[in-house]
Amino acid sequence: MAPEREPRELTDPAALKALAHPLRRRILRTLDRDGPATSTTLARVLGENTGATSYHLRRLAEHGFVEDVPERGQGRERWWRARRQDVRFPPRSAMSADMRATFDEFARQGVAEDFEAFARFQRERDGLAEWGDGLLFARGALHLTRDQLLGFWSDYMELFNRYAAAVPDPPPDDARRLLVRFVAFPDVDC
């Protein structure tokens, strides 16, 4: 499922707090990776109890991060899927102190999760055949104005979303799920 077309700017501190919760992040990653699931299935996969996963799914749904899949359910069984969205955040200077603190923790968790995923890839890469060569890595530095930086970001997101929208559901058998990260920040030493 491709991301929704229009970016969603997350300005509500309560929505960001819902998204930043560690178990909710794990739920979203699992739904994104494995597809729709019930709270019972998620509880088993995540080593949690069904009450906890059910509660956190409802909180995620309140803020539009997951949605019910009514055609999958039978009786009282409720299936959920992650809503693929291009979620963006307001400039830090426009955030309240509470929003900044929550966003900082959200970003810290995200970077830690990315490092963990990269370490798992490094440990497993020799067993991945040709996909072991799938690490595309580049480092560089640019001298940009703030407007150019925002243009660079916009171009990157357009490229990302173009590829995301082109993936059929289900993806081809020879496709792999790739973790794609973009990070740019001012060099404070210059």
**pLDDT at residue 88 in the model:** 93
Distance of CA 185 to CAs 64, 65, 103, 142, 149, Å? 29, 27, 16, 10, 10
How much of the chain, in percent, has pLDDT values that exceed 90?
Answer: 84
* Number of domains observed in the structure of the chain: 1
pLDDT tens digits for range 28-49? 999 999 999 999 999 999 999 9
- The pTM score is 0.84
Instruction: Tell me whether residue 75 is in a domain.
Output: yes
pLDDT score recorded for residue 95: 96
**Could you read off the pLDDT of 114-169 as tens digits, one per residue?**
999 999 999 999 999 999 999 998 999 999 999 999 999 999 999 999 999 999 98
Would residue 182 count as lying in a domain?
no
- Write out the residue range of the structural domain in which residue 125 sits: 8-129
Q: What is the CATH number of the domain that holds 40?
A: 1.10.10.10
Average pLDDT over all residues of the chain = 93
Mean pLDDT of 89-107: 95
**Domain presence at residue 19:** yes
Q: How far apart are CA 159 and CA 180, in angstroms?
A: 12
What's the pLDDT score for residue 99?
A: 95
* pLDDT higher than threshold 60 for residue 2: no
In a domain, 124, yes or no: yes
Please, which residues have CB within 8 angstroms of residue 27's CB and are 6 or more apart in sequence? 42, 46, 53, 56, 57, 60, 66
User: Residue 3 pLDDT > 70, yes or no?
Assistant: no
Residue 53 located in a structural domain: yes
Residue ranges with strand state E in 51-154: 66-68, 79-82, 87-88
Please indicate, yes or no, if residue 70 is contained in any of the structural domains: yes
20 within a domain of the structure (yes/no)? yes
The reply to whether 160 falls in a domain is no
- Average pLDDT for residues 12-38, to the nearest whole number? 96
**pLDDT range class, residue 72, cuts 50, 70, 90:** confident
Indicate if the pLDDT at residue 176 is higher than 80. Answer: yes
What is the model's pLDDT at position 104? 95
